[in-house]
């Protein structure tokens, strides 16, 4: 049986992005793309389990991990997104889901592979069920990005967010929970992301990550950890949270929260300076830490 540190389950989307100046470009997106890249760059053994329409098989080329570690299931549909950014920092945007991918089931995870972590890296509500998360918790640690628990696609393709109805039932099965500041507020009703992290932990999740454009924080039920984002430009802003989470959870298997968070935040900072998934090395990240995070080491 082939073993991985993390098995990442998610769709590869084709994103049509328009920036605040009206410039458009098509790029491959999806949490599985960015999170697998950052974990792999740091030297971790990761797998990607994804679903695509057979006509879209070329999308697999966007993954930076070895093809032998990509498990693609051909299915009726693939994701296509349209993103319009209204500000230079890409914090304000309008997302449209032009077509949805086929949902995952626990049977989609190959029986001949195992993982330390089962990472749910979805795009829209319905990509996977609450029962699938629970089943995965029997296999290893569970990591969930709540984007696919909160973000919904309407019939007219617009996207909207609403609270996760099953959160109280499912959170106790989650070892690593990732939200951004806005998602944390939706789930808890609290604007203060530190207080939101406390509440999410009290509901059962073990380690809470909340990303913000200024910092990444972790709460483990006892202490808060925070590392500032120090990207020197924001041309690669897309994929910020996915890059951070993929790096953090795999580093966390063998490092302290403090060290894992430093490496994850440095990874996303250097990634944000270039569009697309991160393609550097661990040595590049360590040099970046020496240059920009010497006060934190």
Residue 268 banded pLDDT, cuts 50, 70, 90: very high
- β-pair type (46-52, 141-145): unpaired
Measured distance CA(21)–CA(24) in Å, rounded: 9
| pLDDT tens readout for residues 204-235 | 999 999 999 899 999 999 999 999 999 988 87
| Residue in this structure with the two tokens 């914090």, named with its chain if needed | 91
Assess whether pLDDT exceeds 80 at residue 159. yes
**178 Ramachandran zone, left/alpha/beta (phi>0; psi -120 to 50):** beta
**Per-residue pLDDT, 25:** 81
Phi, psi angle pair for 188, to nearest 5°: -115, -20
At the fourth CATH level, the homologous superfamily of domain 2-292 is Ribokinase (3.40.1190.20)
Measured distance CA(283)–CA(42) in Å, rounded: 8
b/e per residue 167-178 (b: at least 16 CB within 10 A): beebbebbbbbb
| pLDDT tens readout for residues 4-27 | 999 999 999 998 888 888 888 888
**Per-residue pLDDT, 91:** 67
Measured distance CA(230)–CA(217) in Å, rounded: 14
Measured distance CA(62)–CA(37) in Å, rounded: 10
Phi, psi angle pair for 273, to nearest 5°: -85, -10
Positive or negative torsion for Cα 136, 73, 35, 87: negative
């Amino acid at each position: 049986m082939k073993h991985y540190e993390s098995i990442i389950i998610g769709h590869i989307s084709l994103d049509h992005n328009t920036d605040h100046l009206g410039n458009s470009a098509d790029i491959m997106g999806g949490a599985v793309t960015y999170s697998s890249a950052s974990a792999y760059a740091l030297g971790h053994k990761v797998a990607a389990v994804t679903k695509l329409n057979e006509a879209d098989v070329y999308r697999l080329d966007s993954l930076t991990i070895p093809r032998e570690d990509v498990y693609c299931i051909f299915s009726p549909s693939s994701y296509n997104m349209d993103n319009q950014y209204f500000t230079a920092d890409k914090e304000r945007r309008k997302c449209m889901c032009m077509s949805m991918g086929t949902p995952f089931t626990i049977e989609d995870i190959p029986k001949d592979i195992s993982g330390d972590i089962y990472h749910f890296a979805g795009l829209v509500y319905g990509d996977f069920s609450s029962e699938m998360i629970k089943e995965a918790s029997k296999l290893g640690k569970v990591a969930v990005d709540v984007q696919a628990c909160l973000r919904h696609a309407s019939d007219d393709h617009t996207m909207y967010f609403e609270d996760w109805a099953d959160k109280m039932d499912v959170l106790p099965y989650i070892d690593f929970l990732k939200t951004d500041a806005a998602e944390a507020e939706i789930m808890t009703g609290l604007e203060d992301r530190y207080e939101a992290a406390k509440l999410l932990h009290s509901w059962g999740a073990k380690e809470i990550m909340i990303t913000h454009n200024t910092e990444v924080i972790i709460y483990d039920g006892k202490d808060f950890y925070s590392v500032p984002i120090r990207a020197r430009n924001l041309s690669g802003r897309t994929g910020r949270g996915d890059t951070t989470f993929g790096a953090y959870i795999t580093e966390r298997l063998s490092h302290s929260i403090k060290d894992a968070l430093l490496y994850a935040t440095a990874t996303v900072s250097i990634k944000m300076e270039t569009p697309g998934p991160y393609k550097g090395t661990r040595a590049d990240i360590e040099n970046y830490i020496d240059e920009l995070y010497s006060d934190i080491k």
